[in-house]
């Protein structure tokens, strides 16, 4: 896993291209602490920062295939992992390709030379890459199917600049950072528009899409999207196929030439991967869990979380014989202004309270032990794990089903200045956003009722909800040089589960019935029957006191950039309340994080 950046313009030579792209690439040093590289041509420059995972001693990038006169034919800057690279390598060798390294990067390079714009359909993995085809004078930007790896771009003149993160685009000083109104609407409405961003004129390459720049201009091609296909397997065959897929996916995801571990919460998703990963590594998997100082004494169950994680983690460690590490975080670290700034800078966005901060600190601690970690992210989206999948009103209410997040964003909206709230029109934006999203859902002929609605719900989660979680996971892990893999995003599993009837997903009356049944034999009974619990948050009163004190300082700073959007009196009113409930806490965290973010995007002078 690495970071990439670059600039291409077919209309003029890039005389200052190397200097510009080097500045862009330097901002991605945390993503690639093991090396830096730059390739500069007349009309294209590609930069790279490397986190060495496969064949650490070789595989430096950008990687080039040259002709007999040492002229470049294909140049690649690549980040991610392709998990079927061994099979592709064998196929390419039979076609006459020669390899110098054992990296998946070189496989992708030769695959680009062999199959051109048809390369992406052959890849199984999480990736974002730029490839310059010198004979065709063409730049391709390619992103994986689910959008696990980020890739942003902006138009500049007749060309494009691109990078793994927006901050790298701004470092080149070819474009100026400014808040995008639609991006802010998305953030406040708890939705995500494919291809959009929080910054004006900055776009994401959409998941499952490639962007081409050549003599015909800039064109976008969708190479993958979810399709509705008939499901013909009965329940036992479905469970068996899910298990076979999980086994193969686990085997592929533990391949690495550096230390590898797994995140373990004691929930079903992470536990399945830890158990299968332990088997695939022959008992050599390290696992990591997060908890908060004082949580054992202060834990209070609520509607989302009935039990703490620790007892289930202990059951998993004993059952599977895991090499386990408990990561304990305290409120001093969670409220440290320097940590808050690091988290906001990593995300290029206002962070989500202590959830983002604790995840960053967890990744930082994990990186002291391993370079690669496996995460259970996306199992809820693939197998229907969230509580609202199973609420009756999900079937009857016309709108996004993640309504508790709407409550959080409602807390944010309540702090807005009146003129800002009116101008943004967030409720109408969310409604229009939903209508567009539903119109894209594929259905089978004659599909109606609960099956059609649940297909909509799955599609909405996979295309409008999951991308934000994947972006958070990537940004916060790569900010500390940790590669996090997400096996449940394997497109074969996603496609199969998407077409599985809802009755099979819930055959035993529980959430994630298929996943439980497919992996029950590798789990302790306590974990196999545990109810879904979200990522933990601290319940330490010291945390609430600290953020209230920081917010009190903020409201006494009239020049703070946050007041462009928020009404300081509304934040004062929340601070005057005696009790810091969930809504008050979310509002305070939002104000603090928004202020930090706005300070980070104050524009540098353009060149």
Phi, psi (5° rounding) for residue 86?
-65, -40
Burial of residue 419, with CB atoms counted within 10 A of its CB: 0-12 exposed, 13-18 middle, 19 or more buried: exposed
384 vs 80: CA distance, rounded Å: 27
143 vs 165: CA distance, rounded Å: 13
**44, 49, 52, 54 alpha-carbon torsion, rounded to 10°:** -20
Nearest to 11 by CA among 131, 117, 162, 156: 156
DSSP state letter for 290: E
Phi, psi (5° rounding) for residue 507?
-65, -25
155 vs 220: CA distance, rounded Å: 14
How many other C-beta atoms lie within 10 A of the C-beta of residue 448?
9
81 vs 490: CA distance, rounded Å: 12
282: left (phi over 0), alpha (psi -120 to 50) or beta: left
Residue 140 β-bridge partners? 131, 212
337 vs 340: CA distance, rounded Å: 5
2 is catalytic: yes
- Distance of alpha carbon 207 from its chain centroid, rounded? 11
Residue 155 three-state SS: strand
Residue 412 three-state SS: helix
Q: Which two tokens stand for residue 4?
A: 């990439």
Query: Which of the residues 2, 112, 320, 489 is marked catalytic?
Result: 2
List, as own/partner pairs, every contact residues 178-181 make where C-beta atoms lie below 8 angstroms and the sequence separation is at least 24, other chains included.
178/601, 178/603, 179/598, 179/601, 181/423, 181/424
Distances (CA, A) of 397 to 113, 200, 244, 381, 456: 49, 33, 36, 19, 12
398 vs 395: CA distance, rounded Å: 8
Are 169 and 152 a contacting pair, CB within 8 Å?
Answer: yes
Q: Give counts: helices (H), strands (E), the chain.
A: 26, 17
Residues designated as active site = 2
């Amino acid at each position: 896993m690495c970071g990439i950046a670059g600039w291409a313009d077919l209309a003029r030579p890039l005389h200052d291209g190397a200097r510009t792209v080097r500045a862009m690439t330097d901002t991605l040093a945390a993503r690639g602490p093991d090396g830096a590289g730059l390739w500069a041509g007349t009309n294209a420059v590609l930069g790279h920062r490397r986190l060495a995972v496969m064949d650490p001693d070789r595989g430096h990038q950008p990687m080039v295939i040259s002709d007999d006169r040492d002229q470049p034919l294909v140049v690649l800057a690549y980040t991610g992992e392709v998990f079927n690279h061994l099979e592709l390598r064998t196929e390419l060798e039979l076609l006459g390709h020669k390899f110098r390294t054992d990296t998946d990067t070189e496989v992708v390079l030769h695959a680009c030379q062999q199959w051109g714009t048809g390369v992406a359909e052959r890849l199984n993995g999480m990736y974002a890459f730029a490839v310059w085809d010198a004979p065709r004078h063409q730049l391709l930007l390619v992103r994986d199917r689910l959008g696990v790896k980020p890739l942003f771009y902006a138009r500049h003149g007749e060309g494009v600049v691109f990078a793994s993160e927006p901050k790298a685009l701004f470092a080149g000083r070819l474009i100026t950072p400014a808040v995008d109104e639609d991006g802010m609407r998305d953030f406040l409405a708890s939705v995500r528009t494919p291809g959009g961003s929080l910054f004006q004129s900055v776009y994401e390459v959409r998941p499952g899409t490639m962007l081409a720049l050549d003599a015909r201009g800039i064109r976008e091609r969708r190479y993958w999207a979810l399709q509705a296909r008939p499901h013909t397997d009965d329940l036992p065959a479905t469970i068996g196929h899910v298990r076979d897929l999980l086994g193969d996916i686990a085997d592929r995801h533990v391949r690495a030439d550096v230390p590898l571990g797994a995140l373990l919460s004691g929930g079903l998703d992470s536990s399945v991967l830890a158990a299968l990963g332990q088997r695939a590594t022959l008992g050599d998997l390290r696992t990591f869990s997060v908890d908060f100082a004082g949580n054992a004494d202060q834990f209070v169950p609520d509607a989302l979380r009935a039990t703490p994680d620790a007892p289930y983690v202990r059951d998993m460690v004993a059952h599977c014989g895991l090499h386990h590490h408990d990561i304990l975080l305290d409120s001093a670290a969670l409220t440290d202004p320097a940590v808050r700034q690091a988290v906001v800078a990593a995300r290029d966005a206002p962070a989500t309270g202590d959830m983002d901060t604790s995840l960053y600190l967890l990744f930082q601690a994990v990186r002291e032990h391993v370079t690669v970690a496996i995460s259970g992210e996306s199992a809820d989206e693939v197998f229907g794990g969230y509580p609202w999948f199973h609420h009756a009103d999900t079937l009857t209410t016309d709108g996004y089903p993640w309504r508790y997040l709407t409550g959080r964003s409602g807390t944010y909206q309540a702090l807005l200045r009146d003129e800002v709230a009116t101008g943004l029109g967030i409720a109408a934006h969310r409604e229009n956003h939903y209508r567009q999203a539903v119109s894209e859902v594929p259905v089978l002929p004659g599909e109606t009722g609960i099956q059609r609605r649940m297909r909509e719900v799955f599609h909405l989660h996979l295309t409008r909800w999951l991308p934000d979680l994947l972006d958070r996971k990537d940004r916060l892990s790569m900010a500390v040089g940790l590669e996090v893999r997400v096996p449940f995003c394997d497109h074969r599993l996603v496609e199969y589960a998407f077409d599985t009837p809802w009755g099979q997903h819930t055959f035993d009356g529980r959430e994630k019935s298929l996943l439980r049944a497919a992996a029950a034999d590798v789990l302790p009974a306590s974990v196999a029957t545990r109810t879904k619990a979200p990522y933990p948050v601290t319940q330490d009163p010291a945390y609430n006191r600290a953020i209230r004190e920081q917010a009190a300082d903020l409201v006494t700073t009239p020049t703070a950039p946050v007041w462009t959007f928020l009404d300081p009196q509304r934040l004062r009113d929340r601070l005057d309340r005696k009790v810091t409930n969930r809504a008050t806490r979310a509002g305070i965290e939002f104000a603090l994080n928004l202020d930090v973010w706005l300070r980070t995007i104050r524009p540098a002078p353009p060149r």
